[in-house]
Chain A
Amino acid sequence: DTGVSQDPRHKITKRGQNVTFRCDPISEHNRLYWYRQTLGQGPEFLTYFQNEAQLEKSRLLSDRFSAERPKGSFSTLEIQRTEQGDSAMYLCASSFSVGQGKEKLFFGSGTQLSVL
């Protein structure tokens, strides 16, 4: 087990193009989170899954953003019609939870998106 894996590490795209990122969580983890981080700021919560169910979405996640976790394992985050303001580091994180308590949250190395 090598931790949370994200692909690609870097993505450069032109404004208006669609992009898709992939996250592979730690294998036994049932929760998966997407965060976004801009330069000089801390990460901001976007959305999270419990198994395959998307349980919460932030207001930051506009209609151009969609996330899926079809089999409760890996997840994809798609951004349609990218804008320059979408340029950021997109971080995936995962945890294992069986109850109502909070658990350790492990992050991947992120995908750095640059929209030209």
Chain B
Amino acid sequence: SQELEQSPQSLIVQEGKNLTINCTSSKTLYGLYWYKQKYGEGLIFLMMLQKGGEEKSHEKITAKLDEKKQQSSLHITASQPSHAGIYLCGADGSNFGNEKLTFGTGTRLTIIP
């Protein structure tokens, strides 16, 4: 079965600083999803990556899927308090067309004003 490891598990950064979260898979990734979750809430869709080398950006968040398709990174530029939360990567190690995902355990991001 596929396993996803996220690093770091938690991150505390000062407002305005840049940060990177990594997601490493034990198998080839056919679809890599990034979500943000506030404590006790549902998951907010951030980005989906499918092709090796793909990079997507939304506002100050950029996600990349490496060429070998076994690792993804999420980069936040000039962090703000609104970026605080738990970031989860989810992936499917199968090329079959559904969204049955395995998730990492998350990275808890705290922003210090």
Task: List residues of chain A with CB under 8 Å of any chain B CB.
Answer: 4, 6, 31, 33, 40-45, 48, 55-56, 89, 91, 93, 95, 97, 99-110, 112
* B38 CB, nearest partner CB in chain A, Å: 10
Could you tell me which residues of chain B, from 30 to 74, have a CB within 8 Å of some CB in chain A?
30-31, 33, 35, 40-45, 48, 50
Give, as a whole number of angstroms, the nearest-CB distance from B83 to chain A.
Answer: 19
Please, how many residues of chain B have a CB less than 8 angstroms from a CB on the other chain?
A: 27
Whether A102 pairs with B43 at a CB distance below 8 angstroms is no
- Per the bound structure, the CA–CA distance linking A40 and B30 in Å amounts to 25
Interface of B is mostly: loop
CB atoms of A48 and B100 under 8 A apart = yes
For B88-113 the 0/1 string (1 means CB < 8 A from A) is 10101000111111111110000000
